[in-house]
Amino acid sequence: MNDQNNKVRVVRVSDDEAGQRIDNFLKRQLKGVPKSLIYRILRKGEVRVNKKRIKPDYKLVSHDDVRIPPVRTTQQDKPIANANLNKVSHLNDCVLFEDDCLLILNKPSGFAVHGGSGLNFGVIEGLRALRPDARFLELIHRLDRDTSGVLMIAKKRSALRELHRQLREKIVHKHYLALVHGCWPRALKKVNAPLAKNALSSGERIVQVNEVDGKPSLTRFQLERKLGDMTLIQASPVTGRTHQIRVHCQNAGYSIAGDTKYSTHEQQSTAKAFGLGRLFLHAWKIEFIHPKSGETIKLMAPLDVSLQKVVDHLASEVDCY
């Protein structure tokens, strides 16, 4: 357990921390402490702001003084297992861009962005372990565990707020590369199909097109390269639903190669036959306005070696034919 949780502290809220709820502020100050315990000390009035009791939804103001009581718990921070230390340290080699506001990675496939669902850690926990002195590290957006590519992390709350605004207002432009089964028609420029999360009888959670209960979802597409019976396409999600690109490709009749959730067993066997051992979906390019300088930032994350080998292999077969 973190030793600083054992004593009373008074923390002054910085300009960058202003605007967030007190419960979220405490979750970062009391690392390793269960959320239920944090809400308990709030309800009991043990947390004070400027010597006054507050509610869990109180929004902090710059220069507020927050009294944090001693918190005793048997729960300890979950250490990153030795077997995963090399994987975590590899994140340092994945940095595409970094300054005092932002950290942008080329996230490896197979790496969850955060812990949960049986995982003790993800990218964000790994970064916090690698950078114990960092005051603030938060995900700006998410990628599926099996999707590689551009992932943005905020190093300041002001940057997080600004990039979230840009995401809401469609100022951020994200472009993915995907390899799909079949010959994608050049005229197929978009899929506009509402999506809803569902649970199958087996308990597996999936996303499906649902005209009645689904949320509006739009993805724009562009054909990049035909590779025999496969097609390399660019996908640009306008909305940001879970598994959106994967389900929209499936709905159009062109499932993504290596997708064990939204492609057929035959397609999965085909993908393995040409050496694909993962989902071929990669967050390739991103464009946004820097939250501090105001300049337009354009970044590109190259395909990893395994995906590039697949493209080269398919291209060579086409050339030979």
Which of these, 108, 109, 95, 105, lies nearest to 140 by C-alpha position?
Answer: 105
* CB neighbours of residue 100 within 10 Å: 9
- Measured CA to CA, the distance from residue 116 to residue 102 in angstroms comes to 24
Q: What is the largest CA-CA distance in the chain?
A: 77
- Annotated catalytic residue, options 16, 64, 144, 259: 144
Nearest to 71 by CA among 104, 101, 25, 39: 39
Burial class (CB within 10 angstroms; exposed 0-12, middle 13-18, buried 19+) of 1:
middle
Q: CA 233 to CA 188: how far, in whole Å? A: 11
144 is catalytic: yes
Burial class (CB in 10 A: 0-12, 13-18, 19+), 268: middle
Q: Which residues of 7-43 are buried (b: 16+ CB within 10 A; e: fewer)?
A: eeeeeebeebbbebebbbbbeebbeebeeeebeebbe
**Would you say 205 and 117 are in contact if contact means Cβ atoms under 8 Å apart?**
no
Name the residue among 95, 122, 90, 92 with its Cα closest to residue 106: 95
What would the DSSP string read from start to end of 104-156?
Answer: EEEEPTT--SS-BTTBS--HHHHHHHH-TT-S--EESS---TT-EEEEEEESS
Give CA angle at 283 (86, 224), nearest 5°: 130
- What distances in angstroms separate CA 130 from CA 88, 89, 183, one per listed residue? 8, 7, 44
Residues serving a catalytic function are 144
